[in-house]
Structure 1
Amino acid sequence: MKKYFLLLTFAALFQSCNKKDELLTFRFDSSVDFTVPSAAGVNLPVSIPTPDVQSGAQQSFQNNNTRADLVKNVVLEEIELSITNPPGQDFGFLKEVHLFISASGLPEREIAYATNIPENAGTKLALETTDVALDEYVKQSTYDIRTEVVIREAFFQDVDITADMVFRVTADIL
């Protein structure tokens, strides 16, 4: 009986030790709004800064039983742009769009793009992601997203766009 008890104790201890070595994966969402100004030139890259994005990652880390110092990897898994204004506007006015991330003390990195956007693109546009590691960016309380677009054709109203982003996080469990 004593051997059985010791074996169970050892198994429980071994399992709890292994739990610290387990990785978890979860997702968190973020979004940013920006406006493409109607005065933008045709066939020229136009850089559009956005206000600081509140990361929200700290709360997501806490909700998923981890914290920033235990995060191993963060990548942008998906991103979709949606036109919010003016009504009826679609992405056909764009040739290309590139999104870049930056944060205090960190270099700017391209995180997503679309090239050769079709003229009948619609009001939603999924971008290709670059799979760059973004841990150090989203661990900060804020980061910046800069958008660069190449306009296909002249347009006469500002176009408001929302970028909805889904990040995938891999981290150690608390």
Structure 2
Amino acid sequence: MINEENFKFHPFMKKMFLAVLLLFTFIATSCDKIDDLLTFYIDQEETIRIESNFPIGVVTPLSPIPVKTNSSETFKNNKTRAELVKDVSLNRLTLSVAEPTDENFDFLRSIEIYLSNDKNEETKIAYLDEVPKGVKTIELKSTNARLDKYIKGETYTVRTRAAIAKPITRDVAIKAAMRFKVTADPI
């Protein structure tokens, strides 16, 4: 027969249960802190140029921009190596009109940004299907693509595809500020 005595925890069992619970809490918290220690960011800034004779209403590629990564130095500074990098993703990509200073993004309908290198296919990393009017700075939406193969290399190429909403009478320089999140194992 089941009675109340059978369901009471012995004082030792209560202490053991609390110890196990604390251990699991410590392990879960430690794993998050270790991931934070092994995560760092790489900031890259490039200039995209849109020429005044750019076609209107058609998604058209712009001239590709080659980028030297200096990744081995960046990994070394963060106490890791390329072969220990587990994951690289785009954390943020912000575009700002740099020149002419009185210009905003009213001329731009949509934009897509791609990365490629000589060993891999091109990967779309960010986009904005409808660019807001009257602003000088926009933040693109990340595709959350894995970018390890580009950032681990010595170089990659940034390619932009854009659709212009209205004619532009002068060349426009756009600053592209990219931030990559890197997670790696320690050396």
Normalising to structure 1: TM-score of the pair? 0.84
Provide the rounded CA distance (Å) in 2 between the counterparts of 1:93 and 1:45: 13
Provide the rounded CA distance (Å) in 2 between the counterparts of 1:73 and 1:126: 22
Q: Which residue of 2 aligns with 1:28?
A: 42
| Larger Rg, first or second structure (1 or 2) | 2
Provide the rounded CA distance (Å) in 1 between the counterparts of 2:113 and 2:65: 14
Q: CA deviation at 1:147?
A: 0.3
Q: Report how many aligned residue pairs link the two structures.
A: 152
Percent of pairs identical after alignment? 33
**Larger proportion of helix:** 2
Q: CA deviation at 1:161?
A: 0.8
Provide the rounded CA distance (Å) in 2 between the counterparts of 1:57 and 1:64: 10
Structure 2 residue corresponding to 1:38, chosen from 43, 46, 52: 52
SS, match of residue 80 in structure 2: coil
Structure 1 residue corresponding to 2:153, chosen from 135, 140, 153: 140
* Gap runs ≥5 in structure 1: 1-21
Q: CA deviation at 1:64?
A: 0.7
Structure 1 residue corresponding to 2:179, chosen from 127, 142, 166: 166
Q: Is the 8 Å Cα contact of residues 32 and 50 (structure 1) preserved in structure 2?
A: no
Q: Is the 8 Å Cα contact of residues 78 and 166 (structure 1) preserved in structure 2?
A: yes
Q: Which residue of 2 aligns with 1:3?
A: none
Q: Deviations over 1:87-114 (max 9, x none)?
A: 1100111110000000111000100001
CA RMSD, Structure 1 to Structure 2 (Å)? 1.1
Which letter maps to 1:114? L
Which letter maps to 1:169? V
Q: CA deviation at 1:56?
A: 2.6
Q: Deviations over 1:25-45 (max 9, x none)?
A: 111101111201110111011
Normalising to structure 2: TM-score of the pair? 0.78
Structure 1 residue corresponding to 2:90, chosen from 71, 76, 85: 76
Provide the rounded CA distance (Å) in 1 between the counterparts of 2:133 and 2:93: 20
Q: CA deviation at 1:119?
A: 2.0
1:110-149 superposed matches below 5 A: 110-120=124-134, 122-149=135-162
**Larger proportion of strand:** 1
